[in-house]
Amino acid sequence: KYLLVFDFDETIINENSDDSIVRAAPGQVLPDHIRQTFREGFYNEYMQRVLAYMGDQGVKMGDFKTVYENIPLSPGMPDLFQFLSKNHELFEIILISDANMFGIECSLRAAGFYSLFRKIFSNPSSFDKRGYFTLGPYHSHKCLDCPANMCKRKILTEYLAERAQEEVEFERVFYVGDGANDFCPSMTLTSADVAFPRKGYPMHQMTQEMEKKQPGAFQATVVPWESAAEVARHLQEVLKK
């Protein structure tokens, strides 16, 4: 069995869903006083303030849901998911995302692919009694390279350990992502594994830089993609072998 790990924003969907929800804000913009509170590495906290503002403006659950349901999938992603649906007994599929549970579930259900995923790891989110959309951090960690609320490497290594205890060993791990926070977990991949960074995005640039600076330090095979159909083709080749 193979483990397939997906990121969500700008990987499964073709946008950053945190930016997308601004479409539900009055005038589809955020005021400067909110935007200026953003600090590098504390995006989750920043989004909590964005959502509080939107709640104050009367943006409701249905408004958010509509936005999430209409975010386009990345090029070729429907092809990849169709391929995985046909071969689902060979792949265990999980999603690790710094977005939020509500948004991911809305998007995947609307696209018809929610049931493909064995587990989704993302920041907890819900609607409080005022009807405000609230967001929390996923966990705390000691990784210096990742945002304060989530280290995907920690999530992936804990998941693999938990599955090993349940006597599930994976022949290979495939990781499909785009961001800097996808580079951290892909550093744990072995030479049997494959990293699929989206072409021209931070994860891809970081694998290239590492290859220049420390050849061989990044162990996984790197297969960059512009269309997720390329990921499907690669996985097809793997299955033929």
User: Terminal CA-to-CA distance of the chain, rounded, Å?
Assistant: 14
Q: Are 57 and 81 in a shared domain?
A: no
Is there a binding annotation on residue 9?
Answer: yes
Which of 7, 19, 79, 182 does the annotation list as catalytic? 7
| Residues facing residue 164 across a β-bridge | none
At 79 the pLDDT is 97
Q: Are 112 and 197 in a shared domain?
A: yes
**What is the tens place of the pLDDT at every residue in 102-159?**
999 999 999 999 999 999 999 999 999 999 999 999 999 999 999 999 999 999 999 9
- Average pLDDT over every residue of 166-195: 97
Is-catalytic flag, 9?
yes
Please name the residues in contact with 20: beta carbons below 8 A apart, sequence gap of 6 or more: 67, 68, 71
Q: Are 65 and 78 in a shared domain?
A: no
Is there a binding annotation on residue 178?
Answer: yes
Q: Are 60 and 143 in a shared domain?
A: no
- Whether residue 41 is predicted with pLDDT greater than 90 in this model: the reply is no
Q: Are 8 and 77 in a shared domain?
A: yes
Q: Are 120 and 179 in a shared domain?
A: yes
* Best CA proximity match to 221, nearest among 199, 189, 180: 189
φ/ψ of 55, rounded to 5, equals -60, -45
**What is the tens place of the pLDDT at every residue in 54-88?**
999 999 999 999 999 999 999 999 999 999 999 99
pTM of the model: 0.96
- Whether residue 241 is predicted with pLDDT greater than 90 in this model: the reply is no
Average pLDDT, the chain: 96
Cα 94 from Cα 96, distance rounded (Å): 7
- Whether residue 20 is predicted with pLDDT greater than 90 in this model: the reply is yes
Is there a binding annotation on residue 128?
Answer: no
At 196 the pLDDT is 98
Lay out the sheet containing 2-6: strands in order across: 119-123, 91-100, 2-6, 172-177, 194-197, 221-222
Q: Are 42 and 118 in a shared domain?
A: no
Share of the chain above pLDDT 90, in %: 97
- Whether residue 40 is predicted with pLDDT greater than 90 in this model: the reply is no
H or E element: which one contains 168? none
Q: Are 10 and 86 in a shared domain?
A: yes
Can you list the pairs that 44-47 forms with residues at least 24 positions away whose Cβ atoms lie under 8 Å? 44/98, 44/123, 44/135, 44/136, 44/137, 44/138, 44/147, 44/148, 44/149, 44/150, 45/148, 45/149, 47/18, 47/100, 47/135
Where in the sequence is the domain holding 50, given as residue range(s)?
18-69
Cα 45 from Cα 55, distance rounded (Å): 15
Which of 9, 32, 56, 63 does the annotation list as catalytic? 9
- Average pLDDT over every residue of 16-37: 95
Q: Are 32 and 53 in a shared domain?
A: yes
Is there a binding annotation on residue 56?
Answer: no
At 49 the pLDDT is 96
Higher-scoring residue by pLDDT: 108, 41: 108
CA Rg value for the chain? 18
At 7 the pLDDT is 98
Is there a binding annotation on residue 32?
Answer: no
DSSP letter for 72, please: P
Is-catalytic flag, 7?
yes
How many structural domains comprise the chain? 2
Q: Are 33 and 146 in a shared domain?
A: no
Q: Are 9 and 90 in a shared domain?
A: yes
Report the CATH number at residue 158. 3.40.50.1000
